[in-house]
Amino acid sequence: MAKTAVLALGGNAIIQAGQKGTITQQFTNTRESLEGVVDLIQQGYKLAITHGNGPQVGNLLIQQLAGIDKNIAPLPLGVLNAATEGTMGYMIEQSLQNRLYKNHINRNVITIVSQVRVDKDDPSILAPSKPVGPFFTQVQAETFAAKYGWNMVEDAGRGYRQVVPSPRPLEIVQAPTIKQLVEDGHVVIACGGGGIPYYLDADGNQEGLDAVIDKDFASALLALEIKADLLVILTGVEKVAINFGTENQIDLNEMSIEEALKYHKDGQFPKGSMGPKILAAVDFIQNGGKEVLITSIEKIVDAFAGKTGTRIHK
């Protein structure tokens, strides 16, 4: 039987460091990032693809602020999440569909704008921690904080970024439809940027929330809800490492969830980078998932073949 996998692409794969993020650059990066995905489809994998949206939604936030002086009403963050699901889903869908056509693979690629239920009383609402948008200098960060009330923090020594609430995902509305489409052989792009957060009010109605759901936690939940065999988290490094960036760096081929939690407790995986990926991997496995693979987009085919990457298991 064909295995089902959820592939989580990072938003930084679409807008790379140092780029302005023009649509030409984003399409170019998207096409390049899908090389290994086509290989997996040729191997028979049934796939759902998720993606981050940190740089993209951050740029939209800046555009909203720029429009205020022109008497254009700014859109809330939840609506901007929906917008990036559409625009980025379109880029990934078109680019992948063209690749499949070129390789004579008859598979449909479908984007689903996904709503994800959260708890309106989630502690993160009062303590924003999710980085979004581009990196800024300290002077720029102080200016945005003073002028617009943004919460700005230093991100792993790479500069300053805005942080917003990031509640944990509880349920994906469209998961049953996504599961059926994937089982039928379609490639589904879903939960972009973690999905659109909403909560249920006292009458059971859905209400949007100004927040960003972490893409890795949403991907883990999607993998559980569609009963995927494998969760693949694609990031900027080939393998997870401890003592990262030091002369004592050790790349890890595999980890048990106990080892992963111990390293996390010891501070090996920062909040703004590897930390959420490790915790999402642990969530997936503790709740019934079989295996998580973490690697870079460039090494995805070798990682699936067992030649590289970091595998987390029971």
Residue that the structure tokens 């693949």 belong to? 232
Ramachandran quadrant class, 21 (left: phi over 0; alpha: psi -120 to 50; beta: rest):
left
Q: Which of 3, 12, 208, 290 is catalytic?
A: 12
Catalytic residue among 59, 89, 179, 215: 215
- Per the CB < 8 A criterion, the answer to whether 166 and 129 are in contact is yes
User: Which of the residues 46, 179, 239, 277 is marked catalytic?
Assistant: 277
Q: Structure tokens of 34?
A: 């899908």
Q: How far is CA 19 from CA 24, 29, 104, 119, 154, in A?
A: 11, 11, 33, 35, 20
Taking CA atoms, 109 is separated from 112, 142, 154, 200, in Å, by: 10, 43, 38, 31
Annotation marks residue 306 as catalytic = no
Cβ neighbours of 227 (radius 10 Å): 12
* pLDDT one digit per residue (tens) for the chain, 314 residues: 579 999 999 877 788 777 888 899 989 888 888 888 998 898 889 999 999 988 888 889 888 888 878 888 888 889 999 999 999 999 999 999 999 999 999 999 999 999 999 999 999 988 888 877 778 899 989 988 898 888 899 987 789 988 889 999 999 999 999 999 999 999 999 999 999 999 999 999 999 988 999 999 999 999 999 999 999 999 889 999 999 989 999 999 999 999 999 999 999 998 778 999 999 999 999 999 999 999 998 898 899 889 999 999 98
- Predicted TM-score of the model (pTM): 0.90
Cα–Cα dist 61/75, whole Å: 8
**Domains detected in the chain:** 4-119+171-313 (3.40.1160.10)
Active-site residue identified among 46, 130, 179, 299 = 130
